[in-house]
Structure 1
Amino acid sequence: MLKRYISILLLLALLSAHLSRCFVYAGFEVNKSYIVAELCENKDKPELNCNGKCFLKKKLKAAEEKERKQEIENQRNRFQETLPPKVELPEPIKIAHAKKNYPQSIIKQTIDRSASIFQPPRGV
């Protein structure tokens, strides 16, 4: 029995986030006489026949803005969860390059071995 009440409560909590406009309309209809008498911006202009609709528009706009900000925040949280944690790379190892000094060639003349190694192909 307790599980049923908890599940209904959680279901209503989930739906309340998506039904904020319905709550705004319901609150407007319940308190319409007070809104028209006290909160309406155009109560000094009766020819507009506002009847509190200006207040309703403000509340609907605020509820929509709140939903949009909440959706952006949820997307940002999902994005941050998918990123891996910052990985620190080790410092590169510096290798000292020793400059090698090669001795100069002792042989002053060219070696002519190419004629004995490379020969043109023979005709068959």
Structure 2
Amino acid sequence: MLKQLTAWLLIFSVLTVNYSRLFVYVGFKMNQSYIAAKLCENRDKPFLHCNGKCYLMKKIKQAEDKQNNAESQAQKNLFQDVYFVNNLFHNSTLWSTGIENPFPSVGNYGKQAGTFLSIFRPPQLS
């Protein structure tokens, strides 16, 4: 039961991420009379027949900006992850210029540590 609920919740969240404009529009249509009467910038000018469309355009713009910011943040996080994964293959120096690694591994204490790709040779039994 809990697994099914979690699965449906994840499916719903994945499908609704890109439909923020749809939710803004549906919310506008449901509350259009209130928005036109209280929140519209042109409520004092009824001859413009705005009926809250200015408010709708502002909310759609905010939703698009929020989505673009989330996408750019996700791209930044992806770049950072790739950098750190790529950094695992280096020793305690960056490239071969002799510059010390600004992110030394924990427990290294200034000793040159081998890479994790080096071969472990157990002691021989006599």
Normalised by the size of structure 2, how large is the TM-score?
Answer: 0.66
Which amino acid counterpart does residue 52 of structure 1 have in structure 2? G
Q: Please state if 1:35 is matched with 2:35.
A: yes
- Counterpart amino acid of 1:68? N
The answer on 1:46 being equivalent to 2:54 is no
Q: How does 1:71-110 map to 2 (within 5 A)?
A: 71-83=71-83, 84-85=86-87, 88-89=92-93
Unpaired runs of 5+ residues, structure 2, are: 100-126
The percentage of aligned residue pairs carrying the same residue is 47
CA distance in 2, matches of 1:80, 1:3: 32
Aligned residue pairs total 92
Q: Which amino acid aligns with 2:87?
A: P
SS in structure 1 at match of 2:22: helix
Structure 1 runs not aligned, ≥5 long: 93-124
1:63 equivalent in structure 2: 63
Instruction: Please say which structure displays the higher CA radius of gyration.
Output: 1
Moved over 4 A (4+): none
Aligned counterparts of 2:87 and 2:79: Cα–Cα separation in 1: 12
- Secondary structure of the 1:19 match is helix
In structure 2, the partner of 1:22 is 22
Moved more, 10-19 or 59-68: 10-19
Q: 1:13 corresponds to which letter in structure 2?
A: S
Note the alpha carbon deviations across 1:59-96, whole angstroms, 9 max, x for none: 0000000000000000111111111338542959xxxx
* Residue 16 (structure 1) shift: 2.2
Residue 7 (str. 1) matches residue 7 (str. 2): yes
